[in-house]
Amino acid sequence: MAADEMDGADSSELLRAPLVIEYPFNRTTGPVVGAFVTALRNRTVLGIRDTSGRVVCPPVEYDPRTGAPLEELVEVGDAGEITSWSWVPEVREGQPLQTPHALALIRLDGADTSLLHVVDAPGPDSVATGARVRIRWADEPTGAITDIECFELDGGAS
């Protein structure tokens, strides 16, 4: 068969199939993330102090700049401000909220870094960098990041 013949095949020659790639990760949390998610189960958020005194939230096991092991977990607030965000107009399966929402970096009060989470808001016009947001806790916490159901705009029902 010649190439022109082969490539002249109409699109019905082209096969398609659904392909799902799944990884059933079963992860150990370690001493720092384990404490973080355990605290979430108790509706408390923990950060960790790095070697320069900044509070990193979510906490990490090693200093992001020096690599030194970190040991001083500290409690941070359940409200903070948006440092960056993006609107998700079309929700996909598996996303934390099944309505259009913002994905945002949120610096919690008492922390010096930002946490990635979702903000339940009526539309992109109601979201802004610098806006205050507060945690809405899941009804039945399990010890996971999803114990924070989402953030909502502070001072206004969203």
Partner 1 sequence: MSIDPSEDRSVSTLPEGLWTQPVPSVPVDLGDDPVQRQVVPASMRYDYSPGLATSRFLRGLAEKRILGERCPETGEVYVPPRGVSPVSGLRTTEQVEVGPKATITSFCVVHIGFGVNAPPTPFVSALFLPDGAAVSLYGTMGEIAHDEVRIGMRVEPVWVDDADLTTSMENIRYWRPIDEPDVPAEQLKGHM
The residues of the shown chain that bind partner 1, judged by CB under 8 A, are 1-3, 6-7, 9, 13-32, 34-35, 37-39, 41-42, 44, 46, 48, 59, 61, 69-75, 93-94, 143-144
CB of 107 to partner 1, least distance (A): 19
Under 8 Å between Cβ of 109 and 79: yes
CB of 122 to partner 1, least distance (A): 29
Residues sharing a CB contact under 8 Å with residue 138, sequence separation 6 or more, in sequence order: 146, 147, 148, 149
Closer residue to partner 1 in complex, CB, 24/130? 24
Instruction: Tell whether the torsion through CA atoms of 126, 127, 133 and 134 is positive or negative.
Output: positive
Q: How far is CA 30 from CA 38, 115, 137, in A?
A: 11, 19, 23
CB of 136 to partner 1, least distance (A): 20
Closer residue to partner 1 in complex, CB, 31/156? 31
Closer residue to partner 1 in complex, CB, 70/119? 70
Closer residue to partner 1 in complex, CB, 12/125? 12
Residue with tokens 């409690």: 75
Under 8 Å between Cβ of 97 and 119: no
CB of 102 to partner 1, least distance (A): 23
CB of 40 to partner 1, least distance (A): 9
Closer residue to partner 1 in complex, CB, 37/153? 37
Three-state secondary-structure class, residue 35 = helix
